[in-house]
Amino acid sequence: MAVLAALPSTSRRRSPRPRRVGAWLWRRRTLSAGVALIALMTILALAAPLLTPYSYHTMYYDAILAGPSRQHIFGTDGLGRDVYTRVIYSYQVSLRVAAGSVGLSLLMGVPLGLLAGYWGGWVDAALMRAVDLLLAFPAILLAISLIAILGQGLGVMVVAIAVVYVPILARVLRGSVLAVRNSAYVEGARARGAGHGRLMLRHVLPNSIGPTVVQAALLMAFAIQIEAGLSFLGLGVQPPTPSLGYMLQENHGYIDQSPWSTLFPCLAIALAVLAFNLLGSGLRDLLDPRGSGR
Amino acid sequence: MTTTLAYCGRRLLQAVPVLLGMSIFVFALIHLTPGDPVQAALGLNYSPRAAAVLRHAMGLDRPIVAQYFTWLGGILHGDFGRDLISHQPLSDLLAHTLPVTLELTLLAMGLAVMLAIPLGVAAARRPGGFVDRTLGGITLLGISIPDFVLGTLLILLFAATLNWLPPEDYVPFTQDPLDNLRHLILPVISLGLAQVAYIAQTTRASMLEVLGQDYIIYLRAKGIRERVIAYKHALRNGALPVVTVIGVQFGTLLGGDIVVENVFSLPGVGKMIVDAVSNRNYPIVQGGVLVIALIFILVNLFTDLLYLALNPRLSTADR
């Protein structure tokens, strides 16, 4: 993940009036851009019915494979459906899968990583073996295998991606828990008589969760890619629910006749992935003490 | 030397539980799938009697643990099971599909490494310079555009619009090497771009660290040329993280293969697996997943051993 360090990071120079909100946002422009793009996509997805006069499945036979126009700003696909409408409805699926899979994997990965790092011993050993095993499969292959077992659909995809992510998140958290477990403030709290539960939740977890949050944001970017990939393969959400990946598949045959029905979903996927990468990279700058701005 | 051998031995032993666990997972795959394989195999010829005979013949009436060991024994003898529809042995199918996947993966990785290392070295020699900023741009594109989306965009531009390259299909290397490569240009680029970004950035970061060290200053003071310092001294000492990222990215590449083969209709293992999932042809899914996971584990093993070759201190430092 060292790659993201190369993204334009927030400036190290001290702003003359750091209390101003604008300056604060500008200094964290990677994060700001990510949050703004995600907010935009969320609004497009949630308010989709208000933002388009069309429905995502109505076919306009008089406008098949049309280019961008005032009626259809992104053009229409091979069945005469409005591409813009389908793109913004597809964001509902992308965002639900990203949030759902990462949320679910945090729910399982955080307790596992915390316990493994804090207790060590056999809990740790067992977890690390399970992690080794799950990491022996490329992520999308593991997801495809789980879909082969569980069948297809949005819920299955969320679960399949979450299963891939749990070990990744658990391992990141375990690493940072190990780093703070024996620090002076934890020892101090222990000396004052804090129990294990209190130590873990009040002292260890808040001081070690940072890298996990960053990783979670980056995994949301990957979740969007995996969702699009699975849907492209026809293993994701089922029609008529629109999905960006499935749109590429549907329009693959028309690529010679009209580029628009392919181009806009491609750009939409890239934008979504970029947004979450910016979020992750911005959060890293914000949470990493060696980083900028503080 | 003995410590080196011990390290290799220990690393090989560590791979055993992963291999076993992986084989249990893949075996479970077929037993957890909905539907009865006997019924699926018989199709319209189904009768309770025929089913019982076939069930016995397939060994499905035996205890599950016994079935697992029979299956594992078969794998070790090269028997990966049979296609439910064509009844072809999977080993025959793999003989056709695996070379396609391997060729695609190795070409993509080879291209990525050849571009990424000079790019990373050049970027590290002048941080903030032209190459560094170009690399920043490539990185942003590489991580934001998933491989199959890039593939689609490349088809859109080079095949559909400019008509320079074929959009899909595959010509075996043995039949026409040049045409084979021509068909692989777009898939290789779509898989390789993201890898260029990852490997070049790792090279850059590792080089920056090494270039700041005292012995580099000493070499400069001695009057050694910058290029020689960068490639002969710094790169060699900064190679470890690069090797690691290449190993890790190999797995990503194998995953990317699965989707990209479907974009370009390349008859590799990935396309075989996806087609089989759609047809509920579970033995094929099972065998395909097994082969990809096996390659992945072997690559990780190889990476670790290469690591040792590059940094012999590891064998003594590691307990």
Chain A neighbors of B145, CB-CB under 8 A: 266, 269-270, 273
Q: Residue B140, CB half-sphere, CA atoms under 13 Å: how many?
A: 14
**CB within 8 Å: A277 and B143:** yes
CB pairs under 8 A between A and B: 150
Which string of DSSP letters, residue by residue, matches B16-70? Answer: HHHHHHHHHHHHHHHHHSSS-HHHHHHGGG--HHHHHHHHHHTTTTS-HHHHHHH
Among A174, A103, A176, A170, CA closest to A133: A170
Closest-approach residue (CA) in chain A for B140: A7
Q: What are the beta bridge partners of residue A82?
A: A76
CB contact under 8 A, A255 and B152: yes
pLDDT tens digits, one per residue of B252-273:
888 888 899 998 888 889 999 9
Contact A85, A52 (CB under 8 A): yes
Q: Does A273 touch chain B (CB under 8 A)?
A: yes
Q: B221 vs chain A: nearest CA distance in angstroms?
A: 30
Contact criterion met (CB < 8 Å) for B289 and A145? yes
Compare CB distances from A270 to B144, B156, B263 and report the shortest one's residue: B144
**Beta carbons of B76 and B69 less than 8 angstroms apart:** no
Tell me the shortest Cα–Cα distance from A192 to chain B, in angstroms. Answer: 36
Rounded Cα gap, residues B31 and A207, in angstroms: 43
Nearest CB partner across the interface for A148, out of B29, B140, B159? B29
Of residues A145 and A15, the one with the higher pLDDT is: A145
Q: What is the mean pLDDT of residues A167-182?
A: 89
CB distance A142 to B303 below 8 Å: no
User: Nearest residue of A to residue B30 by CA position?
Assistant: A149
Distance from CA of A79 to the nearest CA of B (A): 19
What whole-number distance in Å separates Cα of residue B98 and Cα of residue B120?
32
Tell me which residue in A2, A139, A255 faces B160 most closely, judged by beta carbons.
A255
Q: For residue A251, what are its two tokens?
A: 């329009």
Mean pLDDT of chain A: 83
Least confident segment among A66-75, A81-90, A157-166, A264-273: A66-75
Residue A207's pLDDT band (cuts 50, 70, 90):
confident
Tokens for B230, please give them: 């960068």
Cross-chain Cβ contact A3/B263 below 8 Å: no
Is A3:A9 a contact under the CB 8 Å cutoff?
no
Integer Cα distance of B317 and B319 in angstroms: 6
Partners of residue A133 in chain B, C-beta under 8 Å = 18, 21-22, 25
Say if the Cβ atoms of A270 and B197 lie within 8 Å.
no
pLDDT digit string, tens, across residues A208-232: 888 899 999 999 999 999 999 999 9
Burial label, A77 (beta-carbon count in 10 A; 0-12, 13-18, 19+): buried
Scanning B166-318, the segments in alpha helix (DSSP H) are 177-211, 214-222, 226-228, 235-237, 239-263, 269-278, 282-310, 313-317
Question: What is the least distance, in Å, from the CA of B279 to any CA of chain A?
Answer: 10
Looking at this predicted complex, what is its ipTM? 0.82
Is A129 touching B (CB cutoff 8 A)? Answer: yes
Statement: residue A106 has pLDDT above 90: yes
The answer to whether A78 and A250 are in contact (CB under 8 A) is yes
Q: Which of A5, A233, A273 sits opposite B144 (nearest CB)?
A: A273
Whole-angstrom distance, CA of residue A286 vs CA of residue A243: 33
Q: How far is B286 from chain A (nearest CA, A)?
A: 8
What average pLDDT does the segment B74-102 reach?
A: 83
Confidence band for A6, pLDDT divided at 50, 70 and 90:
very low
> Which two structure tokens, joined as six digits, stand for A7?
């993204």
Q: Is-contact A220 A98, C-beta < 8 A?
A: yes
Q: Tell me, what's the pLDDT at B35?
A: 65
- Using an 8 Å CB-CB cutoff, list chain A residues near B260: none
Contacts of A245 in chain B (CB under 8 A): 148
Question: B232: how many CB neighbours lie within 10 A of its CB?
Answer: 12
| CB-based contact A160:A102 (threshold 8 Å) | no
In this model, does residue A107 exceed pLDDT 80? yes
Rounded Cα gap, residues A150 and A142, in angstroms: 12
Interface contact flag, A256 B204, Cβ < 8 Å: no
d(CA A6, CA B127): 11
Mean local confidence (pLDDT), A246-258: 82
| Contacting residues of A for B155, CB less than 8 Å apart | 255
Q: Give me the helix-helix angle, A139-150 and B2-32, nearest 10°.
A: 30
Residue A263's nearest CA partner among B161, B186, B152, B265 is B152
- List CB contacts of A92: < 8 A, sequence separation 6 or more: A45, A46, A48
Q: Are A263 and A142 in contact (CB under 8 A)?
A: no
The amino acid sitting at A228 is: A
Is any Cβ of chain B less than 8 angstroms from the Cβ of A232? yes
> What does the pLDDT read at residue B315?
60
Mean pLDDT of A124-144: 82
- Mean pLDDT confidence for A158-171: 91
Give me the residue from B152, B254, B273 closest to A266, CB to CB: B152
Q: How far apart are CA A237 and CA A153, in angstroms?
A: 5
Cβ-based burial of B2 (10 A; exposed 0-12, middle 13-18, buried ≥19): exposed
CB contact at 8 A, B311 and B14: no
In one-letter notation, the amino acid at residue B260 is: V
How far is it, in rounded angstroms, from Cα A175 to Cα B113?
30
Of A133, A141, A256, nearest to B21 by CB-CB distance is: A133
